[in-house]
Chain A
Amino acid sequence: MKLTLKIWRQRNSNDKGKLETYPVDGITTDMSFLEMIDVLNQQLIKDKKDPVAFDHDCREGICGMCSMVINGRPHGPWEGTTTCQLHMRAFKDGDTVVIEPWRAASFPVIKDLVVDRTSFDKIIQAGGYISVNTGNAVDANSLPIDKTNAEDAFDAAACIGCGACVAACPNSSGMLFLGAKVSHLALLPQGEPEREKRVLNMMKTHDDEGFGGCTNTGACEAECPKGISLTNIARLNREYMRAAIGSEEEVR
């Protein structure tokens, strides 16, 4: 099938960037979306032009590297699917496909469709861990965990950190990502000792990194490829209030 691609091209973070149009031919329905971009890039290389830069790695929906807004939707039209697992069956011959990078002040564009997501790393560094040195652990079964809590913690921990929630949110808020990590650790007894400090520090970093605030539009949940639920944001709010108002921890 033939498609018309409109792709965001931007040489580097200082460049202004613009959408450019590329026709592609010979696309089959079995291809993944990224393989379709591969086809375009091979063509561009043959024509001695600069191929489109895009992030990708595992191509099996788990590393969280791929990050494209396809026709206005992060990771494209299929629900619960990363860009790498989106297949060309989702499109028809003759379609025009607009491809843009994640748009957020906290995710500056590096080149074309590649953005810098180190702000997510910084949020985790602010407290998304349990302070246990190697070798300090007690026997794994010495601490039984309620199965429901364990399952909820897992659901939250399934976040792959791709940033689709930020890309989808009209406010570029990182609350679903933050809420997922805070929930994961708050639901487990191991997370208890650092519970208040963690949420306060992570929230501060979230705000400092330039993410917007949550207005509960639900766009993040709808576009999350791993189905992370909004209840995690509610829990985050609860945890934050509990820590800020109810604990002795300093609110920075």
Chain B
Amino acid sequence: MKLDAKIPEGPIAEKWSNYRSNVKLVAPNNKRRIEVIVIGSGLAGGAAAATLGELGYSVKCFCFQDSPRRAHSIAAQGGINAAKNYQNDGDSAYRLFYDTVKGGDYRSREANVYRLAQVSTNIIDQCVAQGVPFAREYGGLLANRSFGGVQVSRTFYARGQTGQQLLLGAYSALSRQIAAGKVKMYNRHEMLELVMIDGKTRGIIARNLITGEIERHGAHAVVLASGGYGNVFYLSTNAMGSNVTANMKAYRKGAFFANPCYTQIHPTCIPVSGHYQSKLTLMSESLRNDGRVWVPKSKNDLSKNPNQIPEEDRDYYLERIYPAFGNLVPRDVASRAAKYMCDKGMGVGKTGLAVYLDFSSAIERYGKAAANTQNIDNPSKKEIEKLGKEVIESKYGNLFEMYQRITDENPYDTPMKIYPAVHYTMGGLWVDYELGTTVPGLYATGECNFSDHGANRLGASALMQGLADGYFVLPVTIGSYLAGEIRTPQTDTNHPAFVEAEKSVKDNINKLLNIKGDKSVDDFHRELGLIMWNKCGMSRNAQGLQEAIKEIQALRKEFWNNVYVPGTADEFNPELEKAGRVADFLDLGELMCRDALNRNESAGGHFREEYRTPEGEAQRDDENYTYVAAWEYAGEGKEPILNKEELTFNDIELKTRSYK
């Protein structure tokens, strides 16, 4: 199938305004009759549902959590980028566009990224108007910080909980539309099937998670905003409930899944401490502004108290290998370097899977500066340390506290132990410029689409993309489809397509409940996660991926024969919910491995051991792989079909990313 990205004509800076001026509109009297379903209530879904409601559409919004306010966007710590240039440091939409495309290792679509950079400024205006309490300077104007190795300060933030504050903004807008009767909210509901009639999206089948009731919901269009699929690795920084089910249902109905192998591994997370571990906790990237990453030079020192290892016996490997960026290299580079050191046997901690993140230099530096400003002559070592710790506490106090709560170690005195963990997934459903999937009437926004981040996402860009899609892009672009639907009557949910979809959902649930095997859902999930982490994780190779595909297939077979799901279908049953999600993760895992195997290059979050420079760095193959790999479902048990969207770069020159 030929993929048409529907990129508007004209110079890149004018594409979006041209598009908006020419897109078809739906008259207000028609909007009232048009129903749109939104799956997910995070930044993308919440913002989209609220804005569609404001525009006058009849919206139904679904989330599996007990309130739309709890979507996992809430957990984002660091900030949100916007090309406001409030700091007068030369920022512009073009620079943000350039940084994002470069950071994504030249595997994203230029036109989409440029639009993202353009609307980024509107997001900040909108959020401030909603009452989002961004950090401010004493003069009362907004504060910025720098983030993720770019050369300007364009990140807006709200202490360490930017995600929560932005989500509460979207949630409040959504709540307003719920109160106005324009959005009907379905909490504790999970979408379990997409319903198509005559080749068009016409609704969904959802399960009420409290009563277990299977419900039919009709609509003129469906918008997926169901987030990322990092939980395919079992352990990730995602929420426990984050899942790929909505995406996989859409995939099986004909939506292409693009670049599933692009996974972002975040370098600074608290290491795994045991088998029972259920999730990994992120320590904000901002810590790398002041922390120095190191491992001992000698294996004899691995179990030593790190404070007793003298300076000359420490290997500050990021500073050694990447002198230009040092500890501030992008996430993918920092993560891979940590893995490399641990694989070499230089990892520290109980499991040998950790590196030190050390603040003692920063404490000393800040301490001396503070002593200086306080006019203390010849401060003692103790005084310097005390003053320095105070500065560190004011900057990272809550993170240090969280670290201590989880690990029972005091990071002011002993270096933190950190290790990379799965954090974000750049891949997702393939969408065109209008955020439409390959299924008519089905849209994908936020992390669940293959997005604007290419092969690697820069820090503080996920919030930007979710809100850009939800507030400013989708509500406009969906009009071009809905303008053609104004004569379509309300969907009849007694249509055979709904009957059949409902039956398949019920059959699937009954199947899961009736296997009555010996292993729990978590057992399978954990095994899948291990295969994925070892063979499709931070670095991959052809042999491992081929093995992984076989192992996942075997695991899937075992799952469908030996899983035990307690309880019944008509009650609140979290194990049943998990079972359905893990079944979809098993299918996704295989697809990810296939994609990783197909991509014979290293790009961003996808690192193939066979494709690296003599120095061991990632090596792209622009000649053969400058395309989006969009996978098409071919039927049960059949290999998926690869479709390619060639990426053309007219406004940016392809270069090798170097941080040395």
CB–CB under 8 A between A and B in the complex?
Answer: yes
Interface assignment of A236: CB less than 8 Å from any CB of chain B: no
Interface assignment of A120: CB less than 8 Å from any CB of chain B: yes
**B78 CB, nearest partner CB in chain A, Å:** 13
The one of A34, A45, A57, A89 that contacts B241, using a Cβ cutoff of 8 Å: A57
The one of B84, B164, B173 that contacts A160, using a Cβ cutoff of 8 Å: B164
B140 pairs with A147, CB closer than 8 A = yes
- Separation of A44 and B168 alpha carbons in the complex (Å): 37
Segment from A25-33, A167-175, A212-220, A244-252 that makes contact with B: A25-33
**B356 CB, nearest partner CB in chain A, Å:** 19
B70 pairs with A63, CB closer than 8 A = yes
B window 139-174: CB within 8 A of A: 139-142, 158-159, 161, 163-165, 168, 171-173
Interface assignment of A188: CB less than 8 Å from any CB of chain B: yes
**A59 CB, nearest partner CB in chain B, Å:** 5
The one of B136, B273, B277 that contacts A150, using a Cβ cutoff of 8 Å: B136
Interface assignment of B129: CB less than 8 Å from any CB of chain A: yes
Q: Which B residues are CB-close (under 8 A) to A48?
A: 564, 566
B130 pairs with A85, CB closer than 8 A = no
B70 pairs with A134, CB closer than 8 A = no
Q: Which B residues are CB-close (under 8 A) to A110?
A: 210, 572
**Size band of the interface chain B makes with A:** 35 or more
A190 pairs with B130, CB closer than 8 A = yes
Per-residue CB contact flags for chain B residues 43-73 toward chain A (1 = under 8 Å, else 0) read 0000100110010000000000111111010
B279 pairs with A150, CB closer than 8 A = no
Segment from A68-76, A91-99, A125-133 that makes contact with B: A125-133
Report how many residues on chain A are interfacial, defined by Cβ distance under 8 Å. 78
B141 pairs with A157, CB closer than 8 A = no
Interface assignment of B99: CB less than 8 Å from any CB of chain A: no
**A194 CB, nearest partner CB in chain B, Å:** 10
- Separation of A123 and B629 alpha carbons in the complex (Å): 46
Q: Which B residues are CB-close (under 8 A) to A184?
A: 131, 133
A147 pairs with B67, CB closer than 8 A = no
Interface assignment of B322: CB less than 8 Å from any CB of chain A: no
A57 pairs with B65, CB closer than 8 A = yes
The one of B125, B406, B575 that contacts A137, using a Cβ cutoff of 8 Å: B125
The one of B70, B84, B86, B475 that contacts A65, using a Cβ cutoff of 8 Å: B70
Per-residue CB contact flags for chain B residues 509-522 toward chain A (1 = under 8 Å, else 0) read 00000000000101
The one of A133, A158, A191 that contacts B161, using a Cβ cutoff of 8 Å: A158
B161 pairs with A140, CB closer than 8 A = no
- Separation of A124 and B406 alpha carbons in the complex (Å): 33
Interface assignment of B187: CB less than 8 Å from any CB of chain A: yes
Q: Which A residues are CB-close (under 8 A) to B566?
A: 44-45, 48-51
Per-residue CB contact flags for chain B residues 239-253 toward chain A (1 = under 8 Å, else 0) read 111000000000000
Interface assignment of B128: CB less than 8 Å from any CB of chain A: yes
* Known pairs A30-B273, A85-B402, A161-B67; A63 contacts B74 (CB<8 A): yes
Segment from B175-183, B189-197, B547-555, B620-628 that makes contact with A: B175-183
- Separation of A160 and B574 alpha carbons in the complex (Å): 23
- Separation of A10 and B267 alpha carbons in the complex (Å): 42
Interface assignment of B124: CB less than 8 Å from any CB of chain A: yes
**B29 CB, nearest partner CB in chain A, Å:** 19
Q: Which B residues are CB-close (under 8 A) to A57?
A: 65, 70, 72, 239-241
The one of B142, B178, B239, B277 that contacts A35, using a Cβ cutoff of 8 Å: B277
* Known pairs A111-B572, A117-B66; A58 contacts B239 (CB<8 A): yes
* Known pairs A38-B278, A60-B282, A110-B210; A144 contacts B141 (CB<8 A): yes
B408 pairs with A124, CB closer than 8 A = no
Q: Which B residues are CB-close (under 8 A) to A49?
A: 566
A50 pairs with B567, CB closer than 8 A = yes
Q: Which A residues are CB-close (under 8 A) to B124?
A: 140
Interface assignment of A62: CB less than 8 Å from any CB of chain B: yes
- Separation of A184 and B165 alpha carbons in the complex (Å): 11
A53 pairs with B572, CB closer than 8 A = yes
B window 441-497: CB within 8 A of A: 471-472, 475
A137 pairs with B278, CB closer than 8 A = no
Q: A189: nearest residue on chain B (CB-CB)?
A: B131
Q: B86: nearest residue on chain A (CB-CB)?
A: A141
B572 pairs with A63, CB closer than 8 A = no
* Known pairs A60-B281, A144-B139; A190 contacts B131 (CB<8 A): yes
A63 pairs with B75, CB closer than 8 A = yes
Q: Which B residues are CB-close (under 8 A) to A3?
A: none
Ranked nearest first, the 7 interchain pairs of A and B with the lowest CB-CB distance are: A144-B140, A129-B172, A137-B129, A137-B125, A154-B133, A140-B128, A125-B179
Interface residues of A, Cβ cutoff 8 Å to B: 11-12, 28-32, 34-35, 38-39, 42, 44-46, 48-51, 53, 55-65, 78, 81, 85, 87, 89, 110-111, 114, 116-118, 120-121, 124-126, 128-141, 143-147, 150, 153-154, 157-158, 160-161, 184-185, 188, 190-191
Contact sample, A vs B, 15 pairs, CB 8 Å cutoff: A31-B276, A39-B276, A59-B239, A60-B281, A62-B161, A63-B74, A111-B571, A121-B185, A134-B47, A137-B129, A138-B125, A140-B84, A144-B140, A154-B165, A157-B168
Contacts A34-B278, A50-B566, A134-B47 known; list 4 others, CB within 8 Å.
A39-B276, A144-B140, A147-B140, A190-B131
